[in-house]
A and B are shown apart, each in its own frame.
Chain A
Amino acid sequence: MAGFEATFSGRQAPALATTYEGGDPALLQRLVQLVDLIEIAPDTIVSSERGQYILRPEVLDEYASMVPKVGLIAHGIGLSIGSFDHWNHDYLRLLDELFARFDLKWHSEHLACTVVAGESIGTMFSMPRTQEALDLVCKRVDLIQKLYPIPFLLEHVIQLLPDAPAEYTPAGFLNAITSRTGCGLVLDAYNLECDAHNQGLDIAAFLDELDLTPVVEMHLAGGVEFEGFQLDVHSGLTRETTLTLARDIVKRAPNLRAVTFEFLKEAVGLLGHDAICGELARIQQTVLRQAVLQ
């Protein structure tokens, strides 16, 4: 089993990471100069060939061209680890393909449900924080850790719908998963801000309660406020408040290994290459540098 503790123990300067979904060699050339890790979202580089879903070979070749200059990590969207019936086997086939081609540092997935009874819901449902959901998720985390010999991390997603009746607090639920399975966590600073805005989450209390030892990766992103909701659409630059929160997390998470700036491929045209690269430099300077100085 590839628990996070076997691989990550003790404080060291986190790496800088970002997303790249292929098809933009000019951007890639600049990213490689700035980051240590590239995050691959397998679901976003899929094409179908004769009825089978495969990872687009031309994008895989782009990733291959970056190694070993940068390391690779995977971050899934569609595993649907929290579906009541079964997870998405198609996603695992994509992961198998990725593992067959690359040595990844770790892989991660959202603590969520994206498929119900075989039907895609088009978005993500967060998990109800109940014993039943906890047992189901832990069983699947155990299985995925047996299937793939590298650390597996879970990321909390934003809670958009009204909170369901719960037996655990938000932090308590994550603590229960990590303590039972030994998996790591992706802590998304912007998601916490969305939950604070939309659901009144007390971020300080959440972080006080959360066991930060399993936090291996932190996500940073920018989104939009729309009709009174803060949405995690990864379409913008990071807000100053998010960076402040990120600095606090960097100080407190002893096994943090990467800080990842996430942006959608679709937002590249809007943001521009200069702004994306400028943002990475800003994160390097204002968040990661602090970790080095500790």
Chain B
Amino acid sequence: MTPLELQQRGLLDLIKCRGTPPNDPYLQRVEGSRELAMMRKIAVWWRTFQIESQCRLTSRLLKRLGCFEALVADYFNKNVTSPFIEELSRGFLRSLRLHDDPLVRAVSQLEYAALNAQAGLPEASEILWDRHPDVACLAIENGGELPAPEPDCLYRVRFSGQQPFTLTCTCESTVLASGPGVPSR
């Protein structure tokens, strides 16, 4: 490894909080510096700003839940992030598909599908909602009260993934399906 490669790889690891640098006096000096802390802040701030501008609903919801900046920082640190804002945003939204909160999962995957459609990427998807999607999105948009989950309903939103892109939503009752011996959602 050349000195330049060693330095750039070391700085990348430092800015992405990936552990202590190899036995290099310069990198070790950088590691504990306030300058590195500021550079990390700037890098994450830009990603936050960019994601906020592309993923309007998801960022609003996450802010409301108090975890937006932490999730962006975590995504930045743990992933190979794109310098291009649309790809960065899609990557961030994709990373939320396994989030614990079903509303975060649903909203982020809805925006992910919308960004894919906008970019002309054919990817069919189905997003499950535990509450009315329109009502939830409107509440996020307007800062209103979020609707509660509807235990008896399952909303199924489907993106066609083919041009012309279409979106359909069906509501299924889960009451009959959750009888004795039949697992509910």
Contacts and interface: CB of A to CB of B under 8 A. Distances in A.
**A and B interact:** yes
Interface of A: 43, 46-51, 53, 78, 83-85, 88, 90, 113-123, 125, 128, 130, 132-133, 136, 160-162, 164-165, 198, 226-229, 231, 266
Interface string B73-108: 000100011111111000000000000000000000
A161 B38 CA distance: 9
A133 B120 contact: no
A50 B119 contact: yes
Given A48-B86, A84-B4, A128-B4, A160 B39 contact: yes
A130 to B, nearest CB: 7
A201 B76 CA distance: 31
B44 A122 contact: yes
Given A84-B5, A119-B12, A161-B30, A51 B121 contact: yes
Interface residues of B, number: 38
Contacts of B30: 161-162
A227 B43 CA distance: 15
Given A116-B11, A119-B80, A161-B35, A50 B121 contact: yes
B87 to A, nearest CB: 6
Nearest to A133: B4
Contact of A50 (B34, B46, B120): B120
Contacts of B81: 119-120, 122
B33 interface: yes
Contacts of B76: 122
A269 to B, nearest CB: 12
Nearest to A122: B43
Contacts of A53: 84
Contacts of A161: 11, 30, 33, 35-36, 39
A132 B87 CA distance: 33
Contacts of B4: 84, 128, 130, 132-133, 136
Most A CB contacts (10 A, CB to CB) among B5, B42, B81 go to: B42
A226 B82 CA distance: 26
Contact of A128 (B7, B80, B121): B7
B121 A121 contact: no
Return the 8 tightest CB-CB contacts between A and B, nearest first.
A122-B43, A84-B5, A120-B83, A116-B12, A123-B43, A84-B4, A48-B119, A50-B120
Given A113-B8, A116-B11, 14 more contacts: A53-B84, A84-B2, A90-B84, A115-B83, A117-B9, A120-B80, A120-B81, A122-B44, A122-B76, A160-B35, A161-B33, A162-B35, A164-B26, A266-B49
B3 interface: yes
B152 to A, nearest CB: 40
19 contacts: A48-B86, A48-B121, A50-B121, A51-B121, A83-B8, A84-B8, A116-B11, A119-B80, A119-B81, A120-B83, A121-B16, A122-B15, A125-B11, A128-B4, A128-B7, A132-B2, A162-B33, A164-B7, A231-B42
B47 interface: yes
Contacts of B15: 121-123
A85 B87 contact: no
B39 A123 contact: yes
Contacts of B185: none
Contacts of B8: 83-84, 113, 116-117, 125
A121 B119 contact: no
Given A121-B43, A227-B38, A231-B42, A88 B83 contact: yes
B7 A229 contact: no
B121 A122 contact: no
Interface in B36-86: 36, 38-39, 42-44, 46-47, 49, 76, 80-86
Nearest to B1: A84
Contacts of A113: 8
Most buried by A among B4, B11, B30, B35: B4
A227 B38 CA distance: 8
Contacts of A50: 119-121
A185 B36 CA distance: 27
A130 B6 CA distance: 13
A24 B181 CA distance: 61
B84 A46 contact: yes
Interface in B108-150: 119-121
B56 to A, nearest CB: 15
